[in-house]
């Protein structure tokens, strides 16, 4: 039982590290000198479906899974135009999320 708990904690730690690597964090300082960290953008070519769904507005689990499937079948995305090839992703949705998508 103790060993199982240790393995679960290790797995959770690894997953948390992967999330941190795929999302850029923007640090800004307010007028009061307070440093704020916000999840600014996600690398669409390395992020998991869960990370994509969590970061992009209007993208749920199904659309996020389609993005990952398309990426795995056709290679990395290089532009928003490439993302339009994924079923269900249109101009409006991509424009709303353009500042949150990176192509590394």
Task: Give the CATH number, domain containing residue 31.
Answer: 1.10.150.280
Q: How many domains does the chain contain in total? A: 1
Q: What is the pLDDT of residue 14?
A: 57
Neighbour-count burial for 31-63, b at 16+ CB within 10 Å, e otherwise: eeeeeeeeeebbbbbebbbebbbbbbeebeeeb
Mean pLDDT, each 10-residue run in order, the chain (104 residues): 65 54 51 57 96 96 98 97 96 96 94
Taking the model in full, what pTM does it have?
Answer: 0.64
Which range marks the domain in which residue 59 is found? 2-102
User: Cα(40)–Cα(81) distance, rounded to whole angstroms?
Assistant: 21
């Amino acid at each position: 039982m103790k060993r199982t708990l240790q393995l679960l904690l290790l797995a959770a730690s690894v997953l948390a590290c992967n999330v941190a690597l795929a999302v850029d964090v923007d640090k800004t300082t307010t007028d009061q000198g307070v440093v704020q960290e916000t999840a600014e953008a996600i690398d669409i070519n390395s992020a998991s479906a869960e990370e994509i769904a969590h970061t992009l507005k209007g993208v749920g689990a199904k659309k996020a899974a389609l993005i990952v499937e398309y990426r795995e079948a056709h290679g990395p995305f290089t532009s928003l135009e490439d993302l339009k090839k994924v079923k269900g992703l249109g101009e409006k949705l991509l424009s709303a999320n353009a500042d949150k998508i990176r192509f590394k």
